[in-house]
Homo-oligomer: A and B are copies of this chain.
Amino acid sequence: MKTSKNNPRLKELAPRQRNPSGIGLVKDLEGEGKIDSESFLLNGFQATELARAIEEIKEMKKQKAFIFLGFTANLMATGLRGLVKELCKKKFVDAIVTTSGSIDHDAIRAFDDYEIASFNEDDEALHRKGINRIGNILVKTKSFEKLEAKMKPFLEKCYAEKKIWGPSELMKKLGTELDESSFLYWCAKNGIPVYCPGITDGAAFGLQLYFFKQKRKDFAIDVTADLKPMADAALNAEKTGAIILGGGITKHHIIGVNILRNGLDYAVYVSTAQEFDGSLSGAKPKEAKSWGKLKEKGKSVHVNCDATIAFPIIFYSLKDNGLL
């Protein structure tokens, strides 16, 4: 069985292109290596998919695609808020789609702290202490109350201006009231629209609308107002791309609006949902092709990984490549 200990294979491992699906040869990671797109591409399984995601995002930028960034609210409770903020500050993305909870977390974290804990906390005890849990992250009820207190004058100010608001108009106004740690601030400053199609569904911002509306019955949020700007963006772009962290309404809203232009040109999904239950959250990019949400020849990657691990790798790789 003897094979040469100076195996020539060890020298020839530069990636070779092969058709149709071949990317290159699997290459053993080296002791003196690092986490980057190149080493991950030839590593296999999800490391490969993650590297492909990085390459696809580079391509989006090179092709000057209009980029939709979507993320679920839980991610704004994590350190990823800093990276999303950077993407907005640097105008790396052109539109944001997210849920109401993202607004809560982005705003609260501009003035208060969340805490790292474990997934196995005693939730009944936490409740008695006024602490709310999001996975292994804790938020004080008091933090929500502080935001709620700020919401009242904010909504009054909005109401004084006009009665009927589109969600992205409210987001823009809110952004101007937050500090530089906030992605909403930078979106407002840089003219990046923040679409929030399920704006009433949040623990702080959402429920405050209920209380505010009790007093101001003619205050309204017209969700149909955001359809035109979002559709126009999709229709006017030469190419569109999507970077979608997580699933739900965020994911669907981005790919859905792209039906109007016969599909996205690029789609990068980072998700832990599975396709076997027929859910939109778990649907792979290829399913989107049948709908015309992604072009038949559109490029796509699905990275199955928690975004708190995958997204920093993507972000810092883009930075190392001078794209950020």
Contact = CB atoms under 8 A, between A and B. Distances in A.
Interface range for A: 35 or more
A257 B108 CA distance: 20
Contacts of A306: 45-47, 276-278, 304-305
Given A47-B312, A131-B290, 13 more contacts: A9-B111, A23-B117, A26-B137, A39-B79, A41-B116, A44-B77, A123-B287, A124-B290, A197-B201, A209-B224, A210-B224, A210-B231, A305-B306
Contacts of A286: 120, 123
A124 B31 contact: no
Contacts of A124: 289-290, 296
A307 interface: yes
A161 B201 CA distance: 27
Number of copies: 4
Chain A binding site: helix, strand, loop or mixed by DSSP? mixed
B29 A281 contact: no
Contacts of A319: 31
Nearest to A87: B31
A35 B54 CA distance: 15
Interface stretch (A57-65, A236-244, A247-255): A247-255
B280 A73 contact: yes
A232 to B, nearest CB: 10
A290 B31 contact: no
A130 B124 CA distance: 27
A315 B210 CA distance: 34
Most chain B beta-carbon neighbours within 10 Å: one of A5, A23, A276, A319 = A276
A145 interface: no
Nearest to A274: B274
Contacts of A209: 224, 227
B201 A82 contact: no
Interface in A217-245: 219-228, 231
A33 B316 contact: yes
A277 B26 contact: no
A290 B80 CA distance: 23
